[in-house]
Amino acid sequence: MSKAERTRQFIIEKTATLFNSQGYAVTSLSDITALTGLTKGSIYGNFSNKDEVVTEVFKYNASKLLKEIDAAIVEKQSPYEQLLAIVNFYRTIGQKPFIVGGCPLINAATEADDNLAFLQPAVQASFLFWHKKVVDILKRGEVSQHFKSGLDAEMYSSTFIILIEGGILLSRSLKQSVQLDIALDRILKIIEDEIRK
């Protein structure tokens, strides 16, 4: 890494939690300089504008989350165990130290929809990446005959993501875990009743 690349990465990593917990729109350049100890000139020497900082920090936060999900999945052998690993990952998401401020995907999706249209492509790409990962697990499970044949993998993947993100949103809003637990229990029931052979 060049010095410029190291500085850029430092800015991204140092501000990642701040953006996710405080919000992408309201986090100011002054907040960034105060946290990093760098000047405004140094920030703009590494990023063309605040929009680029926001986009790169979101990509970093989303990538961190998706890598953690990957790590939980890769330990499991069968597609069935991998689906359960996703559920278990979200069952303990509140204990993950990198999720300060909540799920980076839903946080950024809300802001991108309301205030930060430039962020929408990056948010969409992250959701689609996650969606495809679940689709791939379902299709592998069908081929290996762990799962029933003729599954609508696209529909089930979307359903799981909707339930998880909705559960997280309600649980955070109401400051209790029961809503996410209900969503995850529903996913488990779908897996057992509709997907598993």
Nearest to 122 by CA among 111, 134, 133, 135: 111
pLDDT digits (tens, 9 = 90+) for 136-194: 999 999 999 999 999 999 999 999 999 999 999 898 889 888 999 999 999 999 999 99
Look up the CATH number of the domain holding residue 174.
1.10.357.10
Domain-embedded: residue 104: yes
Domain-embedded: residue 101: yes
Domain-embedded: residue 43: no
Domain-embedded: residue 45: no
pLDDT at 101 > cutoff 80: no
Determine the structural domain holding residue 122 and report its residue range. 55-195
Domain-embedded: residue 82: yes
CA distances from residue 27 to 18, 39, 66, 70, 124 in whole angstroms, order as listed: 8, 16, 24, 29, 22
Domain-embedded: residue 191: yes
pLDDT digits (tens, 9 = 90+) for 21-59: 999 999 999 999 999 999 999 999 999 999 999 999 999
Q: 196 pLDDT band (50/70/90 cuts)?
A: very high
Q: Which residues pair with 147 in a beta bridge?
A: 196
pLDDT at 99: 65
Which pTM value belongs to this model?
Answer: 0.90
Q: What count of Cα atoms within 13 Å lies in the side-chain half-sphere of residue 58?
A: 29
User: Would you state the structure tokens that stand for residue 156, as one six-digit string?
Assistant: 């089930």
Domain-embedded: residue 86: yes
Q: How many domains does the chain have?
A: 1
pLDDT at 97 > cutoff 90: no
Domain-embedded: residue 47: no
Write the CB contacts of 159 (distance below 8 Å, at least 6 apart in sequence). Answer: 187, 190
d(CA 112, CA 24): 9
